Structure 1
Amino acid sequence: MLRHLYIKNFTLIDQLDIDFHTGFSVITGETGAGKSIILGAIGLLLGNRADSKQIKRGEKKCTIEAHFDLSHYNFESFFISHDIDFDPEDTIIRRELTAAGKSRAFINDTPVSLQDMRTLGEQLIDIHSQHQNLLLQKDDFQLNVVDIIAQDGKVRNDYKISYQLYKTAEQRLEDLKSQLARSQENEEFMRFQFGELDGANLVEGKQEMLEQESETLSHSEEIKSAFYETGRLLSSDDVGIIYQLGQSIDYLSNVSNVYPKAQEIVQRISSAHIELKDIAADISNEVENIDFDPSRLDDINQQLDQLNTLEQKFHVSTEKELIEIRDSLASQLKSIDNSDEELESLEQDVKEKQIACEQQAKKLTALRQKAAKAIEKEMAERLVPLGIPNVRFEVSLSAKPLSADGADKVQFLFSANTSTALEPVAQVASGGEIARVMLSLKAMISGAVQLPTIIFDEIDTGVSGKIAQKMALIMQEMGNHNRQVISITHLPQIAALGSSHYKVEKKETSEGTNSNMRELTGEERVTEIAQMLSGADVSDAALQNARELLNLSVKK
């Protein structure tokens, strides 16, 4: 629950530093005193959009910080998954805004994204404002209420997985149909292109090899002449290098007996002599092998011309890319050739997954139907004491095509009179009736969802007297069992039933308008409720009525 709220330099608030309590609390104050400002500040802790204009004029920064006691709730997994220190008895959420437009969010002094703050904040506080009554017009809200009461989380998750598999299979089938339609339109041209590429006998590296061979054949005479002259210099009689090395070996061998160092040089020259004789033999063979073949050169150039033409035609620069295009065309043509089998296989897969999804949807529908009956019963029990004795409340479940949230369309139908037909609640209920319906729904939901704090912003619009008192009793009930309910109200019947009472006031100072909130003492509560009963001029009768209302709340 919310234990402490600190606000500094936010719109009309200089500084607000206040504690909150468990159970049912009320906030009162004149219209325009700043109650909406406080709600706006709390909304920033829930991840709402920030605006630098919300900073108090003349200040550079504003801060909103809330302390929560989460010791009775299961929030540890959130903190573990986000690598945030967890102190269940004092969890701190802070939002900072600067005049430069920067916004920073923190959970337990750890910087977090706004999305992470929103994810946690939505699990900590539910703010019910008057505009939330419009949710009764929305199918997803009504379905969500049914799901909460049905406690169908596991079945709903199983359905979502099954639905996703079904839609993925369906998308694969549609993609194949689209691909085949496009391919069949271009089939003749694709076969022509594939024939060109396939006929070129493409092999990776072949183009480079042909280019090298073409270069060799184009310079064959020059190459042969170079090898011939090299061979002549090595092997010619009397003047060749090999002959002269042999002579050198003979000269030095003749003196090796009288000059031993000559023998070492002889050995070294002999090694070079043997190596050069091998080289000369290789050169001689190359001279015999190198020959100019005009027909081979023409054939190579034709192949290279074909490859260059294909690369220009297909707008690529390498043979590897041509191979990729060829293989892609082959795959597409294979798909066309095997399209009937592939289509049949995918259609069967879609059918099987649709059946599996429909079976999961039926399980979900069964739980929702059971929950719908429970909702109808509980809503009637809650609305009759709230001044709608002839109420009829029905949860209509009708079939709809498989969708992300199941196969059920939910509508809340309502009638306040026996003679009036059941109609969608948002269309036929008055403002006061809608307020009572929403309060009853929230009370019912709060029993199924462990939400630490619920704030009602003038949920009592359109009601008064005993009905308001009974609404307050419902909020009291909601505040039990480690929950916290805070009601912003203009009605003394509701204000008197709060276990804690806060007042929002606006004062004019020399530095401008300032809004603040404080917790009222016992006598201050009497005066405040008396003012709510009689206006600015508090009479003795009003004070007596206020005490009676407060005494009544104590007895209850």
Structure 2
Amino acid sequence: MLRHLTLRDFVIVDRLELEFSAGFGTLTGETGAGKSILIDALALALGERGDAGVVRAGCDKAEIAATFDVGALPEVAAWLDENGLDVGDELLLRRVVDAGGRSRAWINGSPATVQQLREVGEWLVDIHGQHAHQSLLRADAQRQLLDAHAGQGDLVREVGVAWKAWREAEQSWRTASDGAAALVREREQLEWQVGELNALAFTADEWNELDIEQRRLGHAASLIEGAQYALSVLAEDEGACERQIDRVATRLAGLAEFDPALADVAGLLGSVQAELSDAISTLRRYTDHVDLDPARLGEVERRIDAILAQARKHRVQPIDLPGLLAGWQQRLGELVAAADLDALQARVETLHAAYLSVASRLSAGRRQAADDMGARVSEIMRQLALSSGRFEVALLPVENAAVYGLEQVEFRIGGLAGNEAKPLAKVASGGELSRISLAIQVLTSRSASVPTLIFDEVDVGIGGGVAEIVGRLLHELGQERQVLCVTHLPQVAARADWQWQVSKANRDGVVLSAIQPLDEDGRVREIARMLGGVEITGITLQHARELLRSTPATT
């Protein structure tokens, strides 16, 4: 449940910190005081779109932080763990929007995306807006409400996945059928090209090896001449370095007996002799093995020419030929598979059968849920002074199977304008539609698993005794969940376990909104204001006390 909400420089709120309680709470105040600002801020923390308009005038940024108790929500803990976020009994969502409209988000102190806020928010809060009765007229909204009541969210997603797989396979089969001739031509071309490169049997490593060998063989004469010249100078000529150094070293070693200072020089020359001897031995081995091989040079150059010819033909570098071949082989495999129309058609039929299987299970669940939802909403409607009304959920088969299943959902009302049940939009007036919407929302909220429910002026168009019943329904809902309702009805506010008042004041020329928790006396005066308007009389105060006394308190 929602525990704490902090707002800074949000719309007309400078700073606000709120501690939430369990049960049913209401948010009341004068029209235009900003009662819905709290809901808007919470929606932003839960991933709704935000822009620069939410930043209070003259400020750099708006910030919202919401803390939830999630100790009893193992699915939230699992989601946090899957996303590499800290897991605990408390969950902190934080959102910042700057004056330029840029947004940043955090979950438990770690940077997060707005999409992640939305994902985790689905387990935390369900917000019913004041225009919910308008969206209730849409077919997709009706279908989603029925599926939510049936608890078939996972099955709906499974149907969508199966439908997509079936349609993609069907598209592949159509493409292969329509372009069979073109695919055959492409396949023949690729087979010839792949055959050419396969025959070349070229690898990227070979190109480097050929380059080294070609340079060595091409300069073999120069290499032999150079090695032999080095041997002559170092060891074989009459005045070769090896002999000269040996004579110098021998003479200095003898002189070192008379002056030890020459011993170090003699030692260094000894090292030079050893290094020089190794170099001479290496050169002799090199000259023994290096050889002029015009035949091999010709083979290497012909091989290089063949590789370069293929590279020029396909307009790539020689080293890129193996990658080109791999891409052609992959495409050729796809074309071979696409050419097997019978296999493609069999796959379409298999995936279609899989879709029908899972969609049929969804349909069965919808049929069962439709009867239950119709009976329960009808019962709540009778409590809301719509005793002649009868709520029904019709399942209309779709002509072609759809991503959402085999039927569309249509909410119908019977009894309000005759006995025949007709689509909701055609039989309900504005006030009736508000009450029907509230009945559906109360029912679906009971079916939902989220711990916090928020109703933003969903009681518009309701008054009198019906308002008292609405308050009772929300109070009963508050015994199972945490419920917050923005309301203008004193009968609803009086049923609350706790109540906050929203006010707006001019502070140093700046209009600011504030929220004040109300004690018992404060609630009496606020409900009296809601009953009687600006001027509060003794009669309205007495009426307010009677409303509160008639309400069974839970806190």
TM-score of Structure 1 vs Structure 2, range by shorter chain: 0.7 to 0.9
Q: Which moved more, 1:374-383 or 1:519-528?
A: 519-528
Q: Is the 8 A contact 1:6 1:66 kept in 2?
A: yes
The match for 2:371 among 370, 373, 395 is 373
> What letter corresponds to residue 433 of structure 1 in structure 2?
E
Instruction: Establish whether residue 138 from structure 1 lines up as the match of residue 138 from structure 2.
Output: yes
> What letter corresponds to residue 38 of structure 2 in structure 1?
I
Instruction: Establish whether residue 357 from structure 1 lines up as the match of residue 349 from structure 2.
Output: no
User: How much identity, in percent, do the aligned residues show?
Assistant: 31
The match for 2:518 among 520, 541, 546 is 520
State the 1:516 CA deviation. Answer: 1.0
Q: Distance in 2 between matches of 1:452 and 1:368?
A: 24
Alignment of 1:91-130 (within 5 A): 91-99=91-99, 103-130=103-130
State the 1:475 CA deviation. Answer: 1.0
Instruction: Establish whether residue 66 from structure 1 lines up as the match of residue 63 from structure 2.
Output: no
Match in the other structure for 1:8: 8
Match in the other structure for 2:433: 434
State the 1:436 CA deviation. Answer: 1.5
Q: Distance in 2 between matches of 1:47 and 1:189?
A: 52
Match in the other structure for 2:25: 25
- Distance verdict in 2 for CA 1:497–1:291, change over 3 Å: closer
Structure 2 unaligned regions, length at least 5: 231-237, 239-276
Instruction: Establish whether residue 77 from structure 1 lines up as the match of residue 78 from structure 2.
Output: yes
Q: Deviations over 1:259-318 (max 9, x none)?
A: xxxxxxxxxxxxx9xx99xx89x97x999xx7978xx99999887666544432211232
- Distance verdict in 2 for CA 1:141–1:209, change over 3 Å: same
> What letter corresponds to residue 41 of structure 2 in structure 1?
A
The match for 1:395 among 388, 393, 396 is 393
Q: Distance in 2 between matches of 1:458 and 1:72?
A: 29
State the 1:212 CA deviation. Answer: 8.9
Q: Deviations over 1:451-501 (max 9, x none)?
A: 2222211111112111122112111111112x1222212222222222222
Q: Is the 8 A contact 2:85 2:108 kept in 1?
A: no
Q: Is the 8 A contact 2:137 2:425 kept in 1?
A: yes
Computed over aligned residues only, the root mean square deviation of the Cα atoms, in angstroms, reads 4.6
Q: Distance in 2 between matches of 1:227 and 1:543?
A: 117
Q: Distance in 2 between matches of 1:225 and 1:16?
A: 92
TM-score, normalising length: structure 1: 0.76
Q: Deviations over 1:230-256 (max 9, x none)?
A: 9xxxxxxxx9xxxxxxxxxxxxxxxxx
Instruction: Establish whether residue 446 from structure 1 lines up as the match of residue 445 from structure 2.
Output: yes
Q: Distance in 1 between matches of 2:332 and 2:39?
A: 64
Q: Is the 8 A contact 1:180 1:336 kept in 2?
A: no
Instruction: Establish whether residue 461 from structure 1 lines up as the match of residue 463 from structure 2.
Output: no
Q: Which moved more, 1:381-390 or 1:111-120?
A: 111-120
Q: Distance in 2 between matches of 1:194 and 1:148?
A: 55
State the 1:508 CA deviation. Answer: 1.9
State the 1:209 CA deviation. Answer: 8.8
State the 1:419 CA deviation. Answer: 1.6
State the 1:550 CA deviation. Answer: 2.4
- Distance verdict in 2 for CA 1:308–1:435, change over 3 Å: same
Alignment of 1:383-422 (within 5 A): 383-400=381-398, 401-415=400-414, 417-419=416-418, 421-422=420-421
Q: Distance in 1 between matches of 2:12 and 2:328?
A: 70
Counting matched residue pairs gives 519
Match in the other structure for 1:480: 479
Q: Deviations over 1:345-397 (max 9, x none)?
A: 23212212221221121112111110111001111111122122221322121
Match in the other structure for 2:544: 546
State the 1:539 CA deviation. Answer: 3.0
Q: Deviations over 1:128-181 (max 9, x none)?
A: 222333321333332222222222355446545644654564465467558855
- Distance verdict in 2 for CA 1:52–1:337, change over 3 Å: closer
Q: Is the 8 A contact 1:183 1:332 kept in 2?
A: no
Q: Distance in 1 between matches of 2:333 and 2:504?
A: 79
- Distance verdict in 2 for CA 1:350–1:444, change over 3 Å: same
Instruction: Establish whether residue 148 from structure 1 lines up as the match of residue 148 from structure 2.
Output: yes
State the 1:17 CA deviation. Answer: 3.1
- Distance verdict in 2 for CA 1:195–1:99, change over 3 Å: closer
Q: Distance in 2 between matches of 1:542 and 1:28?
A: 17
- Distance verdict in 2 for CA 1:309–1:530, change over 3 Å: same
- Distance verdict in 2 for CA 1:207–1:517, change over 3 Å: closer
Q: Deviations over 1:428-468 (max 9, x none)?
A: 42222222222112211222223222221111111211112
Q: Is the 8 A contact 2:124 2:452 kept in 1?
A: yes
Q: Distance in 1 between matches of 2:193 and 2:367?
A: 60
Q: Is the 8 A contact 1:220 1:292 kept in 2?
A: no
- Distance verdict in 2 for CA 1:333–1:442, change over 3 Å: closer
> What letter corresponds to residue 465 of structure 1 in structure 2?
G
> What letter corresponds to residue 94 of structure 1 in structure 2?
R
State the 1:111 CA deviation. Answer: 4.3
Match in the other structure for 2:233: none
Q: Which moved more, 1:510-519 or 1:112-121?
A: 112-121
Q: Distance in 2 between matches of 1:309 and 1:491?
A: 87
Secondary structure at 1:384's aligned position in 2? helix
Q: Is the 8 A contact 2:416 2:428 kept in 1?
A: no
Q: Distance in 1 between matches of 2:98 and 2:326?
A: 59
TM-score, normalising length: structure 2: 0.76
> What letter corresponds to residue 372 of structure 1 in structure 2?
A
Q: Is the 8 A contact 2:497 2:553 kept in 1?
A: no
Q: Is the 8 A contact 1:76 1:86 kept in 2?
A: yes
- Distance verdict in 2 for CA 1:327–1:155, change over 3 Å: closer
Secondary structure at 1:32's aligned position in 2? coil
Q: Which moved more, 1:424-433 or 1:155-164?
A: 155-164
